[in-house]
């Protein structure tokens, strides 16, 4: 009877170790593939045609941005917050103004702070409305 219990325990332990090893190996492979697919991105911040900062972006953050595109604007504004106030939406107005340039082949996001519009103006050059003065629709 003891040999049955010990045999079952040995089998359970060996199966547990195989599953753990398989999960760890699969996670390793998944991380390598994610790094290969999403790794190597950089954010370049320029002012007066001079690069003032280059920041590398983790593959996890780029993967999150690809899954949820709205995260890109929040992320880029956070990166540039130390260098100036962004006065437009980077994804729409910023691309039209040339403030944000995405180079997928070079894996870079370039933000040109010189193209930042004057506060209160839109990409079309019309005065923008602040959140307080904007009419509310119901």
Q: Is 0.85 surpassed by the pTM of this model? A: no
pLDDT band at 26 (very low <50, low <70, confident <90, very high): very high
**CA 121 to chain centroid:** 27
Distance CA 44, CA 75 (A): 13
* pLDDT score at 118: 82
Q: What is the pLDDT of residues 53-86, one digit of tens each?
A: 999 999 999 999 999 988 999 999 999 988 888 8
């Amino acid at each position: 009877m003891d040999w049955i219990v010990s045999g079952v325990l040995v089998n359970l332990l060996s199966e547990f170790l195989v599953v753990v090893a398989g999960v760890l190996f699969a996670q390793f492979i998944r991380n390598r593939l994610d790094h290969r697919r999403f790794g190597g991105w950089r954010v370049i911040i320029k002012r007066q045609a001079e690069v003032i900062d280059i920041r590398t972006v983790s593959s996890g953050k780029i993967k999150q941005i690809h899954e949820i595109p709205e995260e890109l604007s929040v992320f880029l504004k956070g990166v540039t917050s130390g260098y100036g106030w962004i006065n437009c939406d980077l994804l729409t107005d910023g691309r039209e103004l040339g403030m944000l340039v995405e180079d997928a082949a070079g894996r870079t996001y370039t933000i040109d702070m010189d193209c930042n519009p004057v506060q209160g103006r839109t990409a079309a050059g019309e005065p923008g409305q602040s959140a307080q003065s904007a009419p509310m629709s119901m």
